[in-house]
Amino acid sequence: MPIVIAVDGPAASGKGTIAARLARTYGLPHLDTGLLYRAVGVKMLGEGHSLDDADAAEGAAWSLVPAGLAEDERLTTGEAGEAASRVAGYPGVRAALLELQQAFAQQDGGAVLDGRDIGTVIAPDAQAKLFITATAEVRAARRWKQLTARGFDIAYEAMLADIVARDERDAGRGAAPMVQADDAVLLDTTDLDIETAFDAARRIVEAARAR
Count residues near ligand DC (CB under 6 A): 14
Whole-angstrom Cα distance, residue 170 to residue 168? 6
Q: Does 37 bind ligand DC (CB under 6 A)?
A: yes
CB of 208 to ligand DC, least distance (A): 20
Residue 32: strand pairing partners: 114
Which residues neighbour 150 within 8 Å (Cβ) at sequence distance 6 or greater? none
Q: Does 162 bind ligand DC (CB under 6 A)?
A: no
CB of 45 to ligand DC, least distance (A): 14
| C-beta of residue 34 within 8 angstroms of C-beta of residue 1 | no
Dihedral pair phi/psi, residue 203, rounded to 5°: -65, -35
Q: Does 139 bind ligand DC (CB under 6 A)?
A: no
Q: Does 14 bind ligand DC (CB under 6 A)?
A: no
Q: Which of 4, 6, 7, 11 binds ligand DC (CB under 6 A)?
A: 11
Q: Per-residue x/- marks for ligand DC, 57-96, CB under 6 A?
A: ------------------------x--xx--x--------
Write out the H or E segment, with its range, that includes residue 131: strand 128-133
Dihedral pair phi/psi, residue 186, rounded to 5°: -80, 130
Q: Which residues contact ligand DC by CB under 6 A?
A: 11, 33-34, 37-38, 81, 84-85, 88, 115-117, 166, 170
